[in-house]
């Protein structure tokens, strides 16, 4: 499931990288959740659907939230929409500004088969490398893009741009907490809840992504809102969220 808002060029790269897979189309589906974009996302969608027909791609679906609260990093809402729309027993999340450097689909399908055969209680995370801006070195020569990462490798709460899990388990805990409405902590909060329920992380060294948009240390966030979200993550010890509300709705 790919979530995106007003970054159609990066979304295109993300989707194309996912379809660079050896997996059969019948073994997976790609759901793009557009969080009310106002840029050229719909024009891109028309071009992509035309290409998909030529390539006989039948496993692509597009859903659109009609409203956006005006923040490009409000990801809990669209992720929950994708969770609700998904049909498979497992769901994997990736942001639309990430590029798969490996066969993420086939690698995840192999992991799922192993999990099912071993009855392991796991969730899957990937490696991520930040992309740094192209700059000149002190001698004036152009310097190539340099990777910095992997992101989250030393974190006590493993996370990454690719997160796969049993769909039912996520539905049972209410998905992502929709009080998280800007950058930060929504993924760590979800993973912390899963770990409290006995799920363990499985980081795959074969699933590598580049985060195309972010530069290390630079985030699109409101500091007060970010502090509020961090407080939610620290103080709320419950495992089930979004109770008694309609969540994951395409509104």
Predicted local confidence at residue 66, as pLDDT = 81
Sign of CA dihedral 159, 160, 161, 164: negative
Predicted local confidence at residue 221, as pLDDT = 61
Q: Per-residue pLDDT averaged across 55-78, rounded? A: 83
Burial (CB count within 10 angstroms: exposed 0-12, middle 13-18, buried 19+), residue 148: exposed
Q: How far apart are CA 229 and CA 208, in angstroms?
A: 28
Per-residue model confidence as pLDDT tens digits over 161-196: 899 999 999 999 999 999 888 777 888 899 999 999
Overall pTM surpassing 0.75 (yes/no): yes
Structure confidence at residue 120 as a pLDDT band (50, 70, 90): very high
Of 72 and 162, more confident: 162
Structure confidence at residue 145 as a pLDDT band (50, 70, 90): low
Contact call for residues 85 and 31 (beta carbons, < 8 A): yes
Q: What percent of the chain clears pLDDT 90, i.e. is strictly above it? A: 59
**Mean confidence (pLDDT) of the chain:** 86
Q: What percent of the chain clears pLDDT 70, i.e. is strictly above it? A: 82
**Distant-in-sequence, close-in-space partners of 43: CB < 8 Å, separation ≥ 6:** 8
Place of tokens 């741009």: 161
Predicted local confidence at residue 135, as pLDDT = 54
Q: How far apart are CA 236 and CA 219, in angstroms?
A: 24
Sign of CA dihedral 4, 99, 164, 47: positive
Of 176 and 127, more confident: 176
Task: Give all domains of the chain, ordered by start, each with its CATH number.
Answer: 2-233 (3.90.550.10)
Per-residue model confidence as pLDDT tens digits over 34-53: 999 999 999 999 999 999 99
Q: How far apart are CA 138 and CA 96, in angstroms?
A: 34
């Amino acid at each position: 499931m790919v979530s995106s808002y007003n970054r159609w060029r990066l979304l295109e790269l993300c989707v194309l990288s996912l379809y660079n897979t050896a997996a059969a189309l019948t073994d997976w589906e790609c759901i793009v959740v557009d969080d009310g974009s106002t840029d050229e996302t719909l024009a891109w969608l028309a071009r992509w659907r035309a290409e998909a027909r030529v390539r006989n791609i039948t496993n692509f679906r597009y859903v659109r939230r009609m409203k956006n609260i005006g923040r490009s990093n409000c990801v809990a809402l669209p992720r929950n929409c994708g969770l609700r729309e998904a049909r498979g027993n497992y769901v994997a999340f990736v942001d639309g500004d990430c590029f798969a450097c490996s066969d993420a689909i086939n690698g995840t399908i192999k992991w799922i088969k192993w999990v099912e055969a071993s009855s392991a209680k796991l969730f899957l995370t990937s490696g991520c490398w930040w992309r740094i801006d192209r700059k000149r070195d002190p001698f004036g020569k152009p310097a190539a893009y340099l990777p910095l990462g992997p992101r989250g490798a030393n974190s006590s709460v493993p996370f990454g741009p690719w997160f796969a899990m049993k769909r039912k388990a996520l539905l049972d805990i209410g998905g992502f907490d929709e009080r998280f409405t800007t950058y930060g902590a929504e993924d760590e909060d979800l993973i912390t809840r899963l770990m409290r329920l006995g799920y363990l992380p499985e980081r795959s060294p074969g699933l590598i992504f580049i985060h195309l948009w972010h530069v290390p240390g630079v985030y699109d966030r409101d500091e007060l809102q970010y502090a509020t979200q961090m407080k939610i993550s620290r103080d709320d010890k419950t495992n089930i969220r979004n109770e008694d509300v309609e969540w994951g709705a395409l509104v």
